[in-house]
A and B are shown apart, each in its own frame.
Chain A
Amino acid sequence: MSESTINIEGAVCAPPLTHNEQIVMGHGAGGRMSHQLIQKAFMSAFDNPALRAGDDAARIESNLHANLAISTDAHVVFPLFFPGGDIGKLAVCGTVNDVAMLGAKPLYLTAGFILEEGLSMETLKQVVASMKSAADEAGVQIVAGDTKVVQKGKADGLYITTAGVGVVREGVTISGANAKAGDAVILSGSIGDHGIAVLAARGELGFQSSLQSDVAPLNHLIDAMMNASSNVHVLRDPTRGGLATTLNEIAAQSNVGILLNEETLPVHPEVAAACEMLGFDPLYVANEGKLVTMVAREDAEKVLSAMRATKYGEGAVIIGEVTAEPRGRVLLKTALGSTRIVDMLAGEMLPRIC
C-alpha cells in the first residue's frame, strides 16, 4: 500500500483575513467589518457623548435662543499630506473657519469619509488623529460621521466632507454684504502660502521649498477681534481663487469698491519667488489659515492690535479701504502710483509661459 498524503486531522477551515493593514471593499458594506472600522478608526479617536450614543443622528441638548450658522465643505486635496498639514486638518479648519466667518462660535462638526480601496489604515489613522488635534484646538466636537468605500482609482486615497454648526453671537450680523465705504480692509497675514506649499508637495515646483501651508482654525482670532470692536462688518477666509477672488465677491455683495495698496500686501519672499518663477500671482493663490475683514475706520487700530496679539494674527496688516465707487470693482494702487483692476480668477489658474 502506498503512503497516504491525506491528513484527516488537519485544519480545514479558511476563516477570512481581518484586513488590518488596508481598506478593502468590505469595510464599506455596512456589516461587521464596517462596524469594526468605525470603532477602531473613528469612534475611539473622536470619542464624545453624541458619538457614544451610537444613533443615526447626534442628539444635541440645547436651550439656545440664538441664530445658527451652518456650513459644509468637501475636501479633495492631493497629496493627502503636505508641509504644514494634511487633508484632515484642512477639513476641520475649513469648516470651523466658514462658520466662524459669520461671527458665530463653531460647536459641532460632522465628517463623511469616502475611502479608496487600498488606502492604508496607517494613513487613515494619521488623518483622523490630525482631525482630532485640530478639533481640540478649535474647541469643537465631531459628533456624526459616515464611511463609504469606493473602488481603486475612484478617490485619490481619501475624500472628506464636513458640515459644521455654530451659534451666532447675539446682536451680530457679519456678512459679505455689510462692507461700508470708509471701512478699513485688514488681512490677517501673508498670502499664497498654502497653494505654493501644496504645489511643492506635488513635486511640481522643480525646486526645494521650506514653505508650509498656513492651514489653521481662526475662530479664536475672530473672538479676539469681536471682543475688541462691535464694528466688524465683514469676515471672510480667502481660499481657492485667492484674496483677489474673495475681495471681488465682497465688492459685488456689498455693492462697493475696494482699493488695495500694493505696497502693504504681505507676501512671504519664498511665495513671491515661486510665483515669479512659475508665472502665478499671489493674489490668486489659495490660503487656508487667513482671513480678511472690513472694519469701521475708527476701530481699525483696535482690531489690528487685537489680531497681532493673537495666534494666527501676528502678521495682520491694513491693506486698503472700502470705497463708494467704482461699485463692485476691486482696484489696486501699484507701488509706482498707477491704478489697475484686480479681477476675479477666471477659470483654472494656469502658469504663464514666457
Chain B
Amino acid sequence: MKYVTEYRDAALVKNVIEEIRRTVTRPWTLMEICGGQTHAIVRHGIDQLLPPEIELVHGPGCPVCVTPLELIDKALAIASQPNVIFCSYGDMLRVPGSGRDLFSVKAQGGDVRVVYSPLDAVALAEKNPDKQVVFFAIGFETTAPPNVMSVLQAQRLGLKNYSVLVSHVRVPPAMKAILGSPHNRVQGFLLAGHVNAVMGYHEYPPFLEEFQIPMVVTGFEPLDIVQGILMTVQLLEAGKIEIGNAYSRAVTFEGLKPAQDTIHKVFMECDRTWRGIGEIPMSGWCLRPEFDEFNAEKRFNVGDIHTKESPLCIAGQILQGLKKPHDCPAFGKECTTENPLGATMVSSEGACAAYYKYGR
C-alpha cells in the first residue's frame, strides 16, 4: 500500500462525492482548520467537485500565517547578530516582518539556514561550539514533539549554545474563539488530522456540548478529505452532534501519550497572539521556566521589540473564515506571492497563497 496512490484514486473519490451529493438536502458551511488540508483541497480542486450546497471556509491552520509580526521581528533581530546560526523551517524565510524577512537578513550576511528537523539544528550546535544556534520553533501541536525533543536532546548533550524561539499555537483554543465569535457561520468542523495524530481527539467532547456542532477527524489525501466531508454532512443531515474519525489509520482517541507527556514536560500553556486575530488566552505553548536556558527570547536581548500589522491586509478575517482571499481588495494586486502583505500569502499553507497559486 503506497497510500499516495490508493488515497488519490479518482474512482473512489468520485464515489464518495456522489454519496455526498445524495446525502445533502440543504446548504452547509464547513471549516477545515489545517493549512495542509486547505492546500490539498485547492490543489486537487476538490471544492470544484463538491455539490454547491457545501461551502468550505478555511480556518487559521497555518502556523506560519499566525506567527505574530512581533515574533518575526524578534527572529530577524536574533538572526542579524554575528555568531548566530539561525535555523528555521523553509516557509518562515519568506514571511515579512516590519520591512525585512529572513531572506534579507541572509543576503546581508546573517547565517540563516533551512533545516528539515530541529534535530539538525542541535547537530549544528554540537558542530559549532563557538556559535549560538537558534531554532525557530513554530507550529501547531504537530511539530511540538520534535521541537521539544530538540530541547531535551540539547540538555542531554550539555549544549550551552542551543536555544529555541518558540511560537507554538494550539488548535482547541482557536476553534473555541472561532465558534464562539458572534459572526460565526461554521456548522461542521473538519479536525486537523496530524494535530490529532499527536494529541488524539479527547479534548473535543466538551466542544460538542458548548457549541453543538459535529466534528470529524480528517486526513490530507483527496479521499481522506471527501470522506471527512461526507461523515460531517451525514452527521449534520441527521442532526447528530458527535465526533467522527475519518483518519483512523493515523489517529486514535487518546493520541500518542509519550509525545503528549514529553510536550507537557517541556512546554506549558500560555497566552499567544495570533497574527490577524489578536490574543487568544492560553492558546500557545511556551517553554517552562526550568528550560529558561534554552529560551532564545531570554538569551538574546529582544524584549523591547513591539510591532503591528499592515492595515491593507485582511489576513485576520480570512484566517477566521469570515472572508475569502478573493474578497480582499489587495489580492492579486498589491498582494501576490512575490510581494506578500500578510502571512496568508507568504506561506504555501496560507489560504491566499493557495488561491493565488491554484485558483486565480
Contacts and interface: CB of A to CB of B under 8 A. Distances in A.
Interface string B155-195: 00000000000000000000000000000000000000010
Nearest to A353: B89
Contacts of B317: none
B349 A341 contact: no
B88 to A, nearest CB: 10
Given A340-B359, A353-B139, A353-B143, A346 B337 contact: yes
A341 B358 contact: yes
Q: Per DSSP, are chain B's interface residues mostly helix, strand or loop, or mixed?
A: helix
B306 interface: no
B14 A276 contact: no
A168 B247 CA distance: 58
A31 interface: no
B44 A336 contact: yes
Interface string A151-172: 0000000000000000000000
B45 interface: yes
Contacts of A278: 116
A341 B48 contact: no
Contacts of A279: 90, 348
A337 B114 CA distance: 36
Contact of A350 (B39, B90, B222): B90
A354 B35 contact: yes
Interface in B69-96: 89-91, 93-94
Interface string B85-122: 00001110110000000010000000000101100000
A343 B4 CA distance: 23
B63 A353 contact: yes
A206 B115 CA distance: 11
A334 interface: yes
B286 interface: no
A272 B5 CA distance: 11
A65 B62 CA distance: 61
A212 to B, nearest CB: 22
Contacts of A354: 34-36, 63, 139-140, 142-143, 194, 349
A347 interface: yes
A346 to B, nearest CB: 4
A278 B89 CA distance: 11
B360 interface: yes
A191 to B, nearest CB: 16
B35 to A, nearest CB: 7
B157 to A, nearest CB: 20
B49 interface: yes
Contacts of A346: 337-338
Interface in B323-360: 337-338, 347-349, 356-360
B259 interface: no
A338 B50 CA distance: 10
A340 B140 CA distance: 28
A340 B42 contact: yes
Interface in B15-51: 34-36, 39, 42-46, 48-49
Nearest to A350: B90
Contacts of B358: 340-341, 343
Contacts of A264: none
Given A343-B357, A350-B348, A353-B63, A337 B10 contact: yes
A352 B92 CA distance: 10
B259 to A, nearest CB: 15
Contacts of B114: 350-351
A339 interface: yes
Interface in A94-144: none
B165 to A, nearest CB: 15
Nearest to A278: B116
Given A343-B357, A350-B94, A354-B139, A336 B348 contact: no
A351 B349 CA distance: 11
Given A341-B357, A347-B94, A353 B49 contact: no
A351 B116 contact: yes
Nearest to A276: B4
A334 B41 CA distance: 12
B139 A338 contact: no
Contacts of A61: none
B4 A350 contact: no
Contacts of A352: 36, 39, 90-91, 348-349
Contacts of B356: 343
A348 B139 CA distance: 21
A313 to B, nearest CB: 27
Contacts of A336: 8, 10, 13-14, 44-46, 49, 222
Contact of B45 (A273, A334, A343): A334
Nearest to B117: A206
A278 B115 CA distance: 11
Interface string A321-354: 0000000000000111111110100111011111
Interface string B214-243: 000000001000000000000000000000
Given A343-B357, A346-B337, A338 B116 contact: no
Interface string A31-58: 0000000000000000000000000000
24 contacts: A272-B4, A273-B4, A278-B116, A334-B45, A335-B8, A335-B10, A336-B8, A338-B44, A340-B44, A340-B45, A341-B358, A341-B360, A350-B93, A350-B348, A351-B89, A351-B91, A351-B116, A352-B348, A353-B143, A354-B140, A354-B142, A354-B143, A354-B194, A354-B349
Given A347-B338, A354-B63, 10 more contacts: A206-B117, A272-B4, A339-B45, A341-B360, A346-B337, A347-B94, A350-B94, A350-B114, A351-B90, A353-B91
Interface of B: 4, 8, 10, 13-14, 34-36, 39, 42-46, 48-49, 63-64, 89-91, 93-94, 103, 114, 116-117, 138-140, 142-143, 194, 222, 337-338, 347-349, 356-360
